[in-house]
Structure 1
Amino acid sequence: MASHPNKMALPFPYEIKDVTEEEDKIIKKYYKEYKRPFIRIGPHGYILNAGYRDYASEIYNFEVRPDDVWVTTFSRSGTTWLQELVWLVANNLDFETARSESITKRFSYMEYTTLTLEIRGEQESDPRAPRATHEDFRSLPKLPSPRFIKSHLPLSLLPPKLLDTAKVFYIARDPRDVAVSFHFAHKLFRYFDDNVQLKEFWDLFRKDLILHTPIFPHVVEAWEKRNHTNLMFLFYEDMQNDLRSVVDKVCKFLDKEYTDEQKQQLMAYLDFNNMKKKPMTDNKKENGNEITFFRKGKSGNWVQYFDSEITREAEEFMEKNLKLTDMRYPTVNN
């Protein structure tokens, strides 16, 4: 591999194939700038753009360090909230740096390049959109330890020794809330035009035609590893219901001890309304509309957006997929 040429690279273990012509036509009606056919990976058929195929093996063979800290999630599941919590706990509650340096600088986004190279080349992305990362798998080997790494890839596509080597967090969120948040994020990041309606997005999401879908296998992969000593599996809803309990768990997982007063400071910092004010995400959208990086942060908020038809489809979608696992999303104490 490029980063470790002397090491024997493991063969990438999953089939990568183009989506069908019909699927590609539907996808590209929305994801307009991509040229090559979108792809599906492995038995679950995870959807990614063709740029991922170019680097799948390099990412799979990435060398993990024992002092790495990873946050892995399906998009819009509370990633940034958890990243901020994890980074602060690991870095002795350094609020000053957290306030002055965006989370995109403190955490490297592992596979981000694979999403953008095909449509933008090496150029910087749209200046109106938030900057998603400053480092990725290509530059990470040169970074000093400890490294903080984020990925939206499922665990099966990440380095096979990841869990045996480093501390890994995974956060899951009710797919209905994810779909609403992901819909607005697709507009924020200019993947979709502003006129794309939620109904259209939902149809693509439930039919596994949105980047990183299907969501359930992505989450269940991590759920099934939840008892691994190096994996902390969390629910977004639990962070909403009882943030203090999650803070305590994260401190214990990272072998950090803080006073009750320090934990109260941390919780105040992590309050959603405070998070919205911080420049840490390079949040640049204006006018207080829905298309912002931090929107509402409420679980169960999907009910405000789903009409009766989408609600019925969502119930069927949830029921069908939850039959296959013992995982259940927590209810929210509103």
Structure 2
Amino acid sequence: MAGYGDHAADIYNLDVRPDDIWVVAFSRSGTTWLQELLWLLENNLDYDGAAKTPLTKRYAFIEYPTMSSEVKKGPPTAGNSSGATVDDFRNFHTLQSPRFVKTHLPLSLLPPKLLDTAKVFYIARDPRDVAVSFHFMHKLFRYFDEDVQFTEFWELFKKDLLLHMPLFPHIEEAWTKRDHPNMTFLFYEEMQKDLCSVIDKVSKALGKEYTNEQKKKLAEHLNFENMKKSSTLKYGKEDKDTEIKFMRKGLSGNWVKYFNTDELKREAEEYMETHLSKTDLTFPDLA
């Protein structure tokens, strides 16, 4: 990432507090969904607070300034959002506890004492669905022109030639830490198939207890179609008539519509087999 090298040490050496809550994920893997779930569970289901405050203010996106070619000098002005975040690594030490953190960096580039100090929630998603969503994200944020086809994008994706890549090592690092007491490893497909069980799992990790009725209401709030309507959960200039949206479809297995030739299907299968053969990681079957 442009600018990251100059600030890698700043991020790696960030001070971590025991009551921090970190959301770690590769881009387009369900980060926003998990952020909203976590924030509400930790804040006693404060729906009014969530509705009044954008997610970009509730969470510090720590590496965000390093993703642009020019990093502004000095800490950001309080309450002055850059669009994707209000707070980042530059003013992270000034934020009041408990701090909520979002990052797309892999664990190896984050503070080494992170897992031993704070709670970490990682979410992984089938890489084929990530590739499709990532394709539209690159158009949404004008990284690519709108006429770039998925086949062109896929060529770059499978060769790890895009922002945030490589994907599999990112997931595998977290997977190897899944049994750490401060790590909660989740799958996007899990959330889609049985959101209530994920709510239970995350509640337990946070030390929170809620009634069945409260959890049912939360699951309804987290329904993808309901979340799409919230202006506090998205950013970027959207095109209502296309799939170029921050919150697009939220479907698992939708990748089959884009890997729509025998060659693309074969390449996707080979891509998955090559990487999964190196690990005991498997993605949930939604059938």
TM-score of the superposed pair, with normalisation by structure 1: 0.81
8 A Cα contact 2:54 2:233, kept in partner = yes
The question of whether the paired residues in 1 share the 8 Å contact of 2:26 and 2:105 is answered with: yes
- Structure 1 stretches of 4+ moved >3 Å: 119-122
Aligned to 2:275: 321
Q: Following the alignment from structure 2 to structure 1, what is the Cα–Cα distance between the partners of residues 187 and 238?
A: 28
Question: Quick one: which amino acid aligns to residue 307 of structure 1?
Answer: N
1:292 paired with 2:245, answer yes
Q: State the one-letter code of the partner of 1:315.
A: E
2:25·2:105 contact (CA, 8 Å) conserved in 1? yes
SS at match of 1:50: coil
Give 1:177's aligned residue.
Answer: 129
Distance in 2 between the 1:190 and 1:327 partners?
A: 33
- Residues of 1 paired with 2:206 and 2:91: CA distance? 25
Return the offset for 1:97: 1.3
Secondary structure of 1:285's counterpart equals: coil
1:331 lines up with 2:274 in the alignment: no
- Cα deviations by residue, 1:273-308 (Å, 9 ceiling, x for unpaired): 000000113444132420001100000000111122
Structure 1 residues 322 and 282, CA, compared in 2 at 3 Å: closer, same or farther? closer
CA 121–61 in structure 1, closer or farther in 2 if over 3 Å, else same: closer
Counterpart CA distance in 1 for 2:222 and 2:57 is 18
Deviation track 1:250-276 (CA, whole Å, cap 9, x = no partner) reads 000000011111101100100000000
CA displacement at 1:189 relative to structure 2? 1.1
Q: 2:222 aligns with which of 258, 266, 270?
A: 270
**Preserved contact between residue 139 and residue 244 of structure 2 (Cα < 8 Å):** yes
1:68 — aligned with what? Answer: 20
RMSD of the TM alignment (CA)? Answer: 1.4
- 1:107 maps to 59
> Structure 2-normalised TM-score?
0.94
Q: Secondary structure at the match of 1:209?
A: coil
**Structure 2 Cα separation of the partners of residues 162 and 70 of structure 1:** 9
Q: Number of aligned pairs? A: 278
Give the equivalent residue in structure 1 for 2:79: none
Q: Is the partner of 1:72 in helix, strand or coil?
A: strand
Deviations 1:187-222 (A, max 9, x none): 111111111111111110100101121111100000
Is the CA contact (8 Å cut-off) linking 1:131 and 1:282 kept in structure 2? Answer: no
Structure 2 residue 179 is the aligned partner of structure 1 residue 222: no
* Matched residue, 1:98: 50
Q: Which structure 2 residues correspond to residues 142-291 of structure 1 after superposition, within 5 A?
A: 142-283=94-235, 284-291=237-244
| Separation (CA, whole Å) in 2 of partners of 1:282 and 1:97 | 16
CA distance in 2: counterparts of 1:291 and 1:189, whole angstroms = 9
Q: Distance in 2 between matches of 1:291 and 1:86?
A: 26
Alpha-carbon shift at residue 120 of structure 1 (Å) = 7.4
Give the distance between the partners of 1:249 and 1:288, measured in 2 at CA. Answer: 37
1:288 & 1:332 partners in 2: Cα distance?
A: 29
Which secondary structure does the structure 1 equivalent of 2:123 belong to? strand
Q: Distance in 2 between matches of 1:80 and 1:68?
A: 17
Q: Select 2:254's aligned residue among 278, 298, 301.
A: 301
